[in-house]
A and B are shown apart, each in its own frame.
Chain A
Amino acid sequence: MNLEPVNNFNPDEGGIPEGFSRTSSATKSSEEYFLNMGPQHPSTHGVLRLVLRLDGESVLGVVPHLGYVHRGLEKVAENQTYLQNIHLTDRLDYLSSHINNLGYCMAMEQALDIGIPERGEYIRVMICELQRIQSHLLWWGVSGMDLGAITTFLYGFKERELITDIFEELCGARLTMNFFRPGGSFADVTDGFIPRIKQVIEIMHKALDEYNTLLTGNIIFQERTKNIGILSKETALSYGCSGAVLRASGVSYDVRKNDPYSIYDRFEFDVPIGSIGDCFDRYCLKIEEMAQSVRILEQAVQTFPEGPYRSQQKAVYKLPKGSYYSQVETARGLLGTYIVAEGGPKPYRVKFRSPSFSNLNILNELAVGHKLADIVTILATLDFVVPDLDR
């Protein structure tokens, strides 16, 4: 295990850090220099390293360096049994851990032909929508803080704690839940579940108006985000973006609508679409997504059925030989779980198609031509989670 520093480039002899094309896009101006937005930086949402080629303060090129939290999750998943992998999917994109569990369990249910009773389906939809609101609240707080409004971080977390309480009462953990099992969940819903959700619904209505007056309506925020990082439809599709980043550029693809899983087709909610695809569109889209999730929760709470919450579960799952794929809409985009099974208790290969990996890929396309401060805005609205990126 070598721990000497990486051999960084030597600017005096015209050295260029790795990943950059030799000739810079702008004229060979004297002020061109390279700035390292290092792995530890307040606005890189974790440990992502960006090397920027700057001319004064405007950006000529960005090369992201990944791998600073690459834990080899897929290799670990190959050596654990199917049940043990569920708690690994929590640590993929830990802000939508329920939805990751759901994606993995759906792939197993597809392989073993396991069905879920009515009440189990409702629990799944309600918990996933709560998880989406919780993740968007944290995203809203952190993106406000990245742009300088520190108070939004505290307001976002204030509402988020209410939903964390629901999850803690439900499955005992605040962040890494490990609650879903193939066929439903490992325990039934506690009796405080429905009243707490009703409380969250009415608080979220007030909170969303407050957020709009505080940040969305603010002229400084609009100046900082409008017409910044415009993503065209073709680039988004060519890079394989998904979630709010794709929808902000005008492509209407939401897994819950276009490829409905669980019982999402029973609830009516609409999928907001952006027009220009700049940072402000991505931002407004996510706020609108929160409102839609609250709308789904309202419908689900009225018709919450009684009955069994899961179907029969086994101690050890042995998936028959073959490959199984399922995809879900996490807070960040489309998470695909691809399991190749050999019939034994352990999977042969598990591949997670992570939304943040493709969403961040477009950073170089968006950032060129903007200022250094706009990099922070673009990173905030791309809303990626680095362990989901590095796996």
Chain B
Amino acid sequence: MGVGGASNLTEQVAAIIDRYPGGVKMVDSIEFLVAWARANSMWPLIYGTACCAMEMMAAGSSRHDWARFGVEVARATPRQADLIVLAGTIVEKMGKNLITLYEQMPAPKYVIAMGSCAISGGPFYYDAYSVIKGGDRLIPVDVYVPGCPPRPEALLYGIMELQEKIKKEGRRNPWKIGDILTTPFIDTHTKAKKDWVILEQKKDQEQQAARKQFKLDNPDFKPAKAVRLKKEKFEAIKPETREPQGISNLVLLQKIQLQFPKISVSPQEDILDLTVPRNNYTDLIQFLKQNDELGLDLLLQLSAIDWKDHFDILVHLLSTRDGHKLFLRCRVDKEDPEIDTISNIFRGAEWHEREVYDLFGIRFRNHPDMRRIFLNKDFPGHPLRKDFEDPERVIKRPY
């Protein structure tokens, strides 16, 4: 039965028994019994990364109830689980852990790739730098359940397919660790187009004569007009204007320009958008936080934009008391992207700054814990920059 170390012993015993009359039938019945037991009691590992995990939980809930198939006891440790349902996107950083999980599971173990992300990368097929395009590039997959996310019934159908596959196991085709997909990762969309163009040229030469002949015997041939769907017409509606919340932008601007005259306003209708020079970036934010007349007490977010020749640090503040918002921009040039941290003013900015460092490469002076937050330490380059190139991980979108 090819199970762990005991496989050669079971094969020898089966070979001996086969010789006796009716021995083959006995070994087959034992194999059938064991395969039936394995098929009807699959304990899934509690593993789910993204949206498909919700549909897997729905399959486990009262309405679809996969306990009917004997799949009830979802085990938390890989030691007691014999089925991994790859529910959700597999990311490079999670790849290591997924392989360790798979290796920790005892021998007859099965994998269901659920949803487009686990089959082929799905919505993150193009331009995603950290998504592994398909679970079978890491661990051998037995059943693919397509959909995004697939219905719980589709997952149950996948489990039934897996049960059929297990029931066929025996000494003739024992369970063994399958092989993973090693073909290099190319864009099937453009490949299909290229192959088709070659086919087309061949077809054109062959049909050269037939087409000329067709044009001769019915010169005035009018191709039938395809009928277009009649799309409903709706009239365009003007949105009703809504007066902005809290302190109006003008009052805000005057208050700030009292303290910091060198602030320029970028053209933005409803939300005040200030461009802040680099030297008084932190003490402007310090002033905004301290000044309780303005009441800007919540840091919405701190992020950056790569304008190809320079970076822009964005700081969005919100007042929970009155509801008005204030956006700040601070220009950082590309050569040495370095700016002071504001995590001592707004504690929440610590993670936002780590994200900006991780994805843009802008360092923050005296930041308590300047580490990458999302990607591995050795990820080449900073992905959200416009000039980020990594042909090994990323396929550019062809259209």
Contacts and interface: CB of A to CB of B under 8 A. Distances in A.
A252 B89 CA distance: 36
Given A154-B62, A239-B348, A75 B128 contact: yes
A176 B127 contact: no
Contact of A258 (B97, B129, B323, B346): B323
Given A3-B96, A175-B149, A237-B298, A71 B347 contact: no
Contacts of B167: none
B144 interface: no
Interface stretch (A61-69, A124-132, A199-207): A61-69
B130 interface: yes
Contacts of A39: 94, 97
B240 A47 contact: no
Given A311-B237, A338-B316, A1 B45 contact: no
Given A19-B369, A87-B123, A353-B300, A47 B51 contact: no
A258 B320 contact: yes
A260 B242 CA distance: 9
A113 B55 contact: no
Interface string B221-243: 00000000000011111111010
Given A76-B128, A95-B54, A258-B320, A240 B346 contact: yes
A109 B55 CA distance: 32
How many A residues are at the interface, by size bracket?
Answer: 35 or more
A243 interface: no
A91 B305 contact: no
Contacts, number: 242
A230 to B, nearest CB: 16
Interface string A50-80: 0000000000000000111111111110111
Interface stretch (A157-165, A209-217, A275-283, A297-305): A157-165
Nearest to B237: A115
Q: Which secondary structure dominates chain B's binding surface?
A: loop
Report which residue of A40, A241, A259 has the largest number of chain B beta carbons within 10 angstroms of its beta carbon.
A40
Interface string B74-94: 001010000000001101111
A310 interface: yes
Contact of A361 (B245, B348, B369): B348
A5 interface: yes
B58 A164 contact: yes
A75 B375 contact: no
Contacts of B53: 46
Report which residue of B101, B127, B375, B392 has the largest number of chain A beta carbons within 10 angstroms of its beta carbon.
B127
B238 A259 contact: no
Contact of B91 (A69, A95, A241, A358): A69
Contacts of B352: 357
Contacts of A323: 268, 273
A309 to B, nearest CB: 9
23 contacts: A3-B96, A18-B371, A19-B369, A42-B46, A46-B48, A68-B49, A69-B49, A69-B89, A72-B128, A74-B359, A74-B384, A75-B127, A94-B54, A110-B239, A115-B237, A116-B237, A138-B54, A153-B57, A157-B57, A158-B63, A174-B55, A338-B301, A353-B316
Given A68-B91, A311-B237, 7 more contacts: A4-B96, A47-B49, A69-B50, A70-B93, A176-B148, A323-B273, A358-B348
Interface of A: 1-6, 18-19, 38-42, 46-47, 66-76, 78-80, 87-88, 90-91, 94-95, 109-110, 113-117, 138, 153-154, 157-158, 160-161, 164, 174-176, 183, 235, 237-242, 246, 251-253, 258-260, 308, 310-313, 322-323, 325, 327, 334, 336, 338, 340, 348-349, 351, 353, 357-358, 361, 386-387, 390
Interface of B: 45-51, 53-55, 57-58, 61-63, 76, 78, 88-89, 91-97, 99-101, 123-124, 126-132, 138, 148-149, 151, 233-240, 242, 245, 267-268, 270-271, 273, 297-301, 303, 305-306, 314, 316, 320, 323, 325, 327, 346-348, 350-352, 359, 369, 371-376, 378, 383-384, 388, 392-393, 396-397
